């Protein structure tokens, strides 16, 4: 596929184009696919959910999917997107647990493509990762995926080739369970979140490698320094600036790519387009949230509505009531709401507070509710980085305040790809995260979901204690914009080898200042609590900066599997490993 020069304009040129900043962030009040291309419309028979900008829904165990290109317009400028069956997002696929699937995928692009079935337990040669499980789908070819469905719940699918998921190749999957679920609802809607940029993702990555803060327009200023002096005194303010200066980092680096480049979408609709899901007062509505973004964490709330969380990453959990939750890239979360008013705003603000996605629950078409203001922009602290600054770190011995200091692999030492190390990482399972704590929002008290709240609705499915521990560190260098495990990028790393049938404990330590959603293909990740007890089964484990979290994995799937950060630019820049399961 070739790109014209106007397809890769840097966002810093946005002001010179006939598109206002507000329009760039909120998007046009249009469907993303351009009407002039004559796209087929969705027939009512294809749609199960009753929504107003319908995403096609395909039902059945034998399906044909065609990957192609369409011109789109989210911001006032035409761009080329990758679509499935002429749809962005790709059609929602609805299956039933126990079905044997036959999915024929035809590639009409001028480049290789692939589809990965995120979170599915299946044979390695059906996983859809070129170079590991198969060769990819070449132009003009059709690849047939065949595998049985061993699970139910909310999942999604996306390309694992050439950053194509950032260009539109992603969609939702719903797998109906064999047996009735323990909770009741009257209707459901998929809420598929994503981030769209008019700039090609390869150009975005090049911009980040040239300047890691390229999309961060919220650097601290002299005015901020004097504000800090007023709040905590000159000495403390100066010491804080000095520490950040020595690390050559900034506490405003909450996201690598901001709304300077992204328009945030719900089911392919911009905030101005206002995707709407209908309900009748008194109904219980299941909302299946999926974060299909390339680089964006979202903080989600529905003002005026309590949300009861019933599933995470497709697996049922013990119900928990919340008012807000953070969803990492690639995670899914199912909630049940009971709306009684005429309209509610589904508000999904980016974690760096530069923009938002927005949708509406309403009793009729054309209705809307007030859109909240973005929360205050939070700042990272040294404690967030896994550094306890209550004493002089240089003078510390091997322990501090009765806690063991974190050791680090030798491969991190004298490594130009590692710019920091967490000295006192903790699990922080009950921490809602930077920007969601009460201290970050004076006067705001919303019940926010944490990992500590997520408890599977079933006991540990394996039951065995792990026979060995494997510790991996998430590493990177912000200025060089390189990412890795243990300071070793994928191109130089040996596979992580597991023996078929063994139960292992993976220990992740985040040595970076960024939050990373870590996804292991082909096997479940059973997150442990801080005492080593089984907590919740997931397919993606989010790792905030300065954290140390553990989870159990049963190596019950032979073959070569991908293991990586699901932030697209991080994966492409080296935070990727092969996991090999042999007899």
Domain range annotation of the chain: 5-182, 380-583
* pLDDT value for 556: 97
Instruction: Quote the CA–CA distance of 129 and 575 in Å, as a whole number.
Output: 15
Q: Which tokens hold the place of 500?
A: 């078929």
Q: Which tokens hold the place of 281?
A: 């007062």
* pLDDT value for 180: 93
**Region label for 351, one of left (φ > 0), alpha (ψ between -120 and 50) or beta (otherwise):** alpha
In the DSSP assignment, the letter for residue 517 is: E
* pLDDT value for 27: 73
In the DSSP assignment, the letter for residue 547 is: B
* pLDDT value for 440: 83
**What 3-state DSSP class applies to 415?**
coil
Nearest CA among 251, 432, 258, 254 for reference residue 356: 258
Whether 5-182 and 380-583 share one fold: the answer is yes
Question: Is the omega angle on the peptide bond into residue 430 within 30 degrees of 0, that is, cis?
Answer: no
Instruction: Quote the CA–CA distance of 337 and 341 in Å, as a whole number.
Output: 12
**Residue 579: alpha-carbon gap to chain centroid:** 21
Phi, psi of 559, rounded to the nearest 5 degrees: 125, -170
* Separation in Å, CA 226 to CA 240, 242, 400, 439, 441: 13, 14, 33, 20, 21
* pLDDT value for 24: 52
End-to-end CA distance of the chain: 41
Instruction: Quote the CA–CA distance of 94 and 99 in Å, as a whole number.
Output: 11
Pick 380-583's CATH classification: 3.40.50.150, 2.60.40.420, 2.40.50.100, 2.60.120.260: 2.60.40.420
Is the CB of residue 359 less than 8 Å from the CB of residue 266?
A: yes
CB atoms within 10 A of CB 49: 18
Instruction: Quote the CA–CA distance of 465 and 28 in Å, as a whole number.
Output: 53
DSSP string, 67-84: EEEEEE-SSSS-EEEEEE
CATH topology of domain 5-182: Immunoglobulin-like (2.60.40)
* pLDDT value for 3: 28
Nearest CA among 116, 125, 209, 214 for reference residue 165: 116
Give CA torsion, residues 547, 551, 556, 559, to 10 deg: 10
* pLDDT value for 25: 60
* pLDDT value for 445: 87
Instruction: Quote the CA–CA distance of 254 and 172 in Å, as a whole number.
Output: 27
Question: Could you tell me the pTM of the whole model?
Answer: 0.89
Contacts of 246 (CB under 8 A, 6+ apart): none
**Residue 264: alpha-carbon gap to chain centroid:** 13
Per-residue pLDDT of the chain (583 residues; tens, 9 = 90+): 332 323 333 333 332 233 454 545 677 765 566 533 333 333 333 333 444 558 999 999 999 999 999 999 999 999 999 999 999 999 999 999 999 999 999 999 999 999 999 999 999 999 999 999 899 999 999 999 999 999 999 999 999 999 999 999 999 999 999 999 999 999 999 999 999 999 999 999 999 999 988 998 765 454 554 565 566 677 665 555 555 455 556 767 789 999 999 999 999 999 999 999 999 999 999 999 999 999 999 999 999 999 999 999 999 999 999 999 999 999 999 999 999 989 999 999 999 999 999 999 999 999 999 999 999 988 888 778 776 544 333 333 444 445 679 999 999 999 999 999 999 999 999 999 999 998 888 888 899 999 999 999 999 999 999 999 999 999 999 999 999 999 999 999 999 999 999 999 999 999 999 999 999 999 999 999 999 999 999 999 999 999 999 999 999 999 999 999 999 999 999 999 999 999 9
* pLDDT value for 56: 95
Contacts of 493 (CB under 8 A, 6+ apart): 484, 485, 577, 578
**b/e 500-512 (16+ beta carbons within 10 angstroms → b):** eeebbbbebbbbb
């Amino acid at each position: 596929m070739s790109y014209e020069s106007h397809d890769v304009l840097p966002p810093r040129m946005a002001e010179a184009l006939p598109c206002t900043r507000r329009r760039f962030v909120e998007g046009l009040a249009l469907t993303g696919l351009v009407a002039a291309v004559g796209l087929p419309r969705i027939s009512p028979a294809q749609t199960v959910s009753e929504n107003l900008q319908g995403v096609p829904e395909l039902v059945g165990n034998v399906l044909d999917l065609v990957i192609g290109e369409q011109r789109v317009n989210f911001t006032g400028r035409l761009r080329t997107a990758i679509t499935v069956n002429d749809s962005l997002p790709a059609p929602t696929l609805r299956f039933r647990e126990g079905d044997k699937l036959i999915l024929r995928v035809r590639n009409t692009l001028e480049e290789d493509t692939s589809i990965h079935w995120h979170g599915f337990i299946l044979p390695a040669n059906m996983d859809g990762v070129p170079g590991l499980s198969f060769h990819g789908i070449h132009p003009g070819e059709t690849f047939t995926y065949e595998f049985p469905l061993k699970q139910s719940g909310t999942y999604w699918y996306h390309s694992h080739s050439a950053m194509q998921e950032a260009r539109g190749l992603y969609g939702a999957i719903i797998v109906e369970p064999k047996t009735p679920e323990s909770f009741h609802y009257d209707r459901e809607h998929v809420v598929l979140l994503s981030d769209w940029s008019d700039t090609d993702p390869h150009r975005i990555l090049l911009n980040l490698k040239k300047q890691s803060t390229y999309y961060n327009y919220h650097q601290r200023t002299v005015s901020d320094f004097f504000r800090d002096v007023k709040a905590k005194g000159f000495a403390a303010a100066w010491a804080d600036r000095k520490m950040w200066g020595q690390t050559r980092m900034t506490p405003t680096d909450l996201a690598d790519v901001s709304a300077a480049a992204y328009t945030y979408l719900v089911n392919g609709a911009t905030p101005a387009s206002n995707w709407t899901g209908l309900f009748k007062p008194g109904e219980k509505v299941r909302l299946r949230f999926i974060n299909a973004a390339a680089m964006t964490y979202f903080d989600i709330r529905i003002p005026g509505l309590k949300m009861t969380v019933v599933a995470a990453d497709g697996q049922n959990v013990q119900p928990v009531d919340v008012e807000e939750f953070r969803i990492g890239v690639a995670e899914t979360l199912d909630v049940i709401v009971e709306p009684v008013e005429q309209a509610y705003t589904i508000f999904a603000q980016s974690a760096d507070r530069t923009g938002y996605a927005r949708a509406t629950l309403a009793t009729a078409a054309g209705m809307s509710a007030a859109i909240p203001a973005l929360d205050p922009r939070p700042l990272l602290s040294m404690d967030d980085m896994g550094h306890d600054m209550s004493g002089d770190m240089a003078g510390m011995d091997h322990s501090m305040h009765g806690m063991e200091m974190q050791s680090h692999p030798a491969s991190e030492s004298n490594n130009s790809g590692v710019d920091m190390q967490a000295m006192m990482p903790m699990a922080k399972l009950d921490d809602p995260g930077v920007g969601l704590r009460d201290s970050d929002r004076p006067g705001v008290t919303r019940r926010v979901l944490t990992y500590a709240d997520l408890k599977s609705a079933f006991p540990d499915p394996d039951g065995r204690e792990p026979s060995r521990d494997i510790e991996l560190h998430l590493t990177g260098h912000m200025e060089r914009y390189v990412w890795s495990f243990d300071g070793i990028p994928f191109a130089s790393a040996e596979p992580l080898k597991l023996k078929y049938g063994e139960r292992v404990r993976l220990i992740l330590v985040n040595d970076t200042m960024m939050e990373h959603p870590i996804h292991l293909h082909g096997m479940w990740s059973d997150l442990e609590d801080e005492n080593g007890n089984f907590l919740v089964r997931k397919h993606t484990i989010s790792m905030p900066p300065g954290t140390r979290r553990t989870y159990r994995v049963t190596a019950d799937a032979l073959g070569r599997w991908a293991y990586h950060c699901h932030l697209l630019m991080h994966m492409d820049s080296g935070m990727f490993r092969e996991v090999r399961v042999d007899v």
